[in-house]
Structure 1
Amino acid sequence: MTDVQEAYRLLVADVYELAGTSRRTSEAIAATAGQTTARWHVLSVLSGAPSTVAAVARRLGLARQSVQRVADDLVADGLADRAPNPDHRTAPLLELTSAGRAALAALVERGDADRARVLAAAGTSAEELLACREVLRRLVAALDGP
C-alpha cells in the first residue's frame, strides 16, 4: 500500500467519524426545537423552492418513501403545505409555511451557535475548511466519474 492510499483510507475513516458525530449532535440540536434531523433536512431543501417529494429524496440521497413519511408529518404539523404542480398532476409540490420557515430559522440559529463553538474549539479557519472541501469534492468527482 502506498502512502497516498493509506492517507486516503485514514481520511475516509475520519470523514465517517465526523459524519456520525455531526449527525448525533444535529439530532440533539433538532430535539431542542421539537424536530428531528430528517425533518430539518427536508425543511432545508424546501427553503430553496417548492419541490416534489421525489426531488427532495434525490437531493438528500434518500428513498422517496422515507421522505414521503417526513413530508406527511410536516404537512400534518402545519410546517409544509402541498400545492398543485403544473408539471405533474399527481406529484404535488411541497412548500414551507410561515411556521415551517420559523421552525427552520430556529434550527439554523441553534445549529450555527453550536457549530461556532465547535469550530472555535477546533481552532480551524474558513480557508482550511474550504481547502479540505475542495479535496473532498475532487475525490467525490473521481469516485462518481467514468
Structure 2
Amino acid sequence: MSETPESYRLLIADVYELAGLSRRTSEALARTAGQTTARWHVLSVVSDGPRTVSSAARRLGLARQSVQRVVDGLVADGDLELRANPDHARAPLVAISPSGAAVLAELVRRSDADRSALLGRAGVSAAELDAARAVVRRLLSALGAADRRPTS
C-alpha cells in the first residue's frame, strides 16, 4: 500500500469540515429542545453508565473543568445525579437521571430524523458509513500508537 500524505491531508480537511457542519446542525437541534450541544454530549457520554467527570472529559476530549461546569448545570436541573464512588471518595460518579434520559432520548430522536434525511439526500448507505468509519478507526489506532511511543 503506497503512502499518500496528500490524500490523508485532504481526508482530514474533509473530516474537519464535516464535523463543523454537523456540529452546527447539532447546535440547532439542541436549541429546539432547550439544550446545548455541550449538555447533549455530557448526557450522551454518561448514558452508558456512571463515570467520573475526569473520565467523561477524557472521552469527550475536553478539559475536566469545562465538563465540570456542564455537569454542575445538569445536576442542578435534575438531569444528572452524583453518586458515591467506591474507588475515590473525592471524585463522585456522574449518572444520568430519568429526566436526563428523557432529554437525551428526545435529542436522539430529533437527531436521527435529521441525519436520516441527510443520508437520504447524500445517497449514503450504512455499508459506506461502516467502511468510512473503519478507515477512520484504523487511523485513530495508528495515531494513538504513535502518541504512546516513548520519546528520547
Structure 1 residue 38 and structure 2 residue 38: aligned? Answer: yes
Partner of 1:64: 64
Partner of 1:128: 128
User: Partners in 2 of 1:3 and 1:51 — Cα distance?
Assistant: 39
User: Partners in 2 of 1:17 and 1:136 — Cα distance?
Assistant: 15
Equivalent residue letter for 1:11: L
User: Partners in 1 of 2:67 and 2:49 — Cα distance?
Assistant: 16
User: Partners in 2 of 1:28 and 1:58 — Cα distance?
Assistant: 25
- Percentage of matched positions with identical amino acids: 63
Structure 1 residue 114 and structure 2 residue 114: aligned? Answer: yes
Partner of 1:93: 93
Given the two structures, how large is their TM-score scaled by the length of structure 2? 0.91
Deviation at 1:86, TM superposition (A): 1.1
Deviation at 1:64, TM superposition (A): 0.3
Mind listing any 5+ residue stretches in structure 1 that lack a counterpart?
none
Partner of 1:49: 49
Partner of 2:149: none
Equivalent residue letter for 1:36: T
Deviation at 1:4, TM superposition (A): 2.1
User: Partners in 2 of 1:89 and 1:24 — Cα distance?
Assistant: 38
Deviation at 1:25, TM superposition (A): 0.4
Equivalent residue letter for 2:95: E
Deviation at 1:5, TM superposition (A): 2.1
Partner of 1:138: 138
Given the two structures, how large is their TM-score scaled by the length of structure 1? 0.95
Partner of 2:6: 6
Deviation at 1:41, TM superposition (A): 0.6
Give the SS at the match of 1:94: strand
Give the SS at the match of 1:81: strand
Which deviations, in whole Å up to 9, do the C-alpha atoms of 1:56-91 show, x marking residues without a partner? 011111100000000000001110111111111111
Deviation at 1:3, TM superposition (A): 8.1
Q: Any residues of structure 2 matched to 1:21-36 within 5 Å, and which?
A: 21-36=21-36
Runs of 4+ off more than 4 Å: none
RMSD after superposition: 1.3
